[in-house]
A = this chain, B = another copy of it.
Amino acid sequence: MPGYAAPVDDIQFILHGLLDVSRQDIPGYGELEPDLTAAVLTEAGRIAAEVLAPLNAAGDREGCRLEGGAVRTPAGFRAAFDEVKAGGWTALDCDPDYGGQGMPGLIGSAVSGIFSAANQSFTMYQGLTHGAYSAIHAHGSAEQKARFLPRLISCDWTGTMNLTEAQCGTDLGLMRCKAVPQPDGSYRITGEKIFISAGDHDLAENIIHLVLARIAGAPEGIGGISLFIVPKFLVGEEGTLGARNGVSVGKIERKMGIHGNATCLMRYEGAQGWLLGLEHKGMRAMFTMMNEARLGVAMQGLAQAEAACQAAVAYARERLQGRAATGPANPQGPADPLIVHPDIRRSLMDQRSFIEGARAFALWSAMLLDRAQRAGDGDAEGLISLLIPVLKGFLTDKGLEMTVQAQQVFGGHGYIEETGMSQFLRDARITQIYEGANGVQALDLVARKLPSDGGRHMAAFLGQVSAFIADNGGDAALAQDFLAPLGRALADLQAAVRYFMERGAAEPETVLAGSTDFLHLFGHTCLGFMWARMAKVAQTAETGFREAKLATGRYYMARQLPATALHLARIRSGAGPVMALPAEAF
């Protein structure tokens, strides 16, 4: 069974070398000195390695069970959850006014990436609770905040998000779940929600469901949807638990992965709920959490790639097979370790160069999100809104690819569940789907984010990359290996933007047909940008770290970044080839 070691040194390099966090003008960042972040990350790594990783495969094998209407999580989950709570990890980046520790979201993201790598199913219980916390924190009344936030922060109560129904996922305008106003100001919620992660379990004494529903008489479409707080157990004045509410689990789904997290069909039968935020503005309330939620999912995709890669490296070092092309590397042994073989090395370098670049992209994004939310920086808000679909789509698509590559290193042993390599792939697979399937991320990117504010945020990103290349042109160590390929990727991205701008208004299908390729072109450029910036700051790192970082970066620039040209070629082929075959002819 694979172990897991948190990449503390690499995260520290990104936080302090690349992002220079403690000198950023963002509330709370001043405290983020290297010693502090190292202590937090190291302890998170210990919990991940000692508490969460050992439950990962067992949780996959055992799964969740529905017994007498209640979900039982896998053996050990409850004790581990209590340990995580006791360590204060659930409160890390929450508001001190309600019992949180007030650290930046950036640190919360880094820690959740570590926890997810060790055990994604387990960490989801906490992640969904954080989402509910954020929604109530942003939109709740003072009374709602006082009642719910402290217990969500401590994870004495957990949270869920109830959006999907059988007939609608992406297109929430088709929603049927109904809310009927009551004389006391509450609502009665009736309907079925599907695919509700952490919908029920035995880890906490109460579950606070956030439920999208349509108030009787509301407008059609997504403009008539409201958001409700629906506790599993009603909550009295002092936070005491009262009667069981009219919400129950219809079934739990048998699914490809994340078996340790219960994915439930939830039945609301006149359940008592309270409006969160404004009537008919439920979608807007959800959207304020979307960036945070999608960053979290991107982190999960990256985390599975990271965990799988660690296992693949260990196996490649230890498994003996064949001889190196340049002569035996292990002449005393019966064969050389796999890692001597260039095609194995290529696979490991694909994984490593993606993972380190993606980690930088994700943490940079988390910092932008803090800057937008905590420093009220409108430019950061615009930029992060543009980048989020790229981050979510690219990191999860590539994350899956990397788990496939890592599994492949194991040969037949990778196909056997015992080695744990299958689970990384199966768990990673959901990240491409939930929180908006990646096709929807691509749509959001080209149809909403790219043209928003007259394309100002896209121009700002292109300008940042362009300025970096110009500013560092004199650095001979960067020029050929980093700046030149980054410049080519940037030109490809600019050409794609121009192509869309010239055609978007007249040919909407041209833009949509190129949306996924645009997302990947953009994603590669972001990672190329991260790598060039990391190469610059790595020059002053200690020798071993510097050499490894530069070699890994050069690999990305030489072998992965040229994919931008392929994506541009596909985009430029337009909608014709995509739409030529009529729907009836399929």
- A-side residues, CB < 8 A to B, are 164, 167-171, 173-174, 194-195, 253-257, 313, 316-317, 320-322, 325-326, 329, 334-335, 337, 339-349, 352, 400, 404, 407-408, 411-418, 422, 425-426, 429-430, 432-434, 437-439, 442-443, 508-509, 512-513, 515-516, 544, 547-548, 551-552, 554-555, 558-559, 562-563, 565-566, 569-570, 573, 575-581, 583, 585-586
CB contact between A558 and one of B413, B434, B573 (< 8 Å): that residue: B573
A409 CB to nearest chain B CB (Å): 8
Q: Which residues of B contact A577 (CB under 8 A)?
A: 349, 551, 554-555, 558-559
Check A585–B548 contact: CB distance below 8 A: yes
CB contact between A349 and one of B195, B322, B558, B578 (< 8 Å): that residue: B578
A408 CB to nearest chain B CB (Å): 6
Check A581–B551 contact: CB distance below 8 A: yes
Check B170–A322 contact: CB distance below 8 A: yes
Check A513–B256 contact: CB distance below 8 A: no
Q: How far is the CA of A256 from the CA of B326 in the complex (A)?
A: 36
Q: Which residues of B contact A321 (CB under 8 A)?
A: 168-171, 174
Q: A321-B169, A345-B513, A581-B552 are in contact. Are A313 and B414 (CB under 8 A)?
A: no
Q: Which residues of B contact A437 (CB under 8 A)?
A: 408, 411-412
A selection of 23 A-B contacts at a CB cut-off of 8 Å is A169-B412, A174-B334, A255-B416, A313-B586, A316-B586, A325-B508, A325-B512, A342-B513, A343-B516, A344-B439, A346-B578, A347-B439, A407-B429, A408-B433, A412-B434, A415-B429, A426-B426, A548-B585, A555-B580, A558-B576, A558-B577, A559-B578, A562-B569
Q: How far is the CA of A344 from the CA of B346 in the complex (A)?
A: 32
Q: How far is the CA of A585 from the CA of B555 in the complex (A)?
A: 15
Q: Which residues of B contact A174 (CB under 8 A)?
A: 320-321, 334-335
Check B575–A342 contact: CB distance below 8 A: yes
Q: How far is the CA of A438 from the CA of B414 in the complex (A)?
A: 13
Check A415–B439 contact: CB distance below 8 A: no
Check B422–A255 contact: CB distance below 8 A: yes
Q: How far is the CA of A95 from the CA of B335 in the complex (A)?
A: 41
Q: Which residues of B contact A411 (CB under 8 A)?
A: 169-170, 433, 437
The residue on B at minimum CB distance from A258 is B415
A48 CB to nearest chain B CB (Å): 20
The residue on B at minimum CB distance from A341 is B512
Q: Which residues of B contact A585 (CB under 8 A)?
A: 544, 547-548, 551
Q: How far is the CA of A333 from the CA of B338 in the complex (A)?
A: 57
Q: How far is the CA of A320 from the CA of B62 in the complex (A)?
A: 35
Q: Which residues of B contact A425 (CB under 8 A)?
A: 256, 429
Check A342–B515 contact: CB distance below 8 A: yes
A34 CB to nearest chain B CB (Å): 23
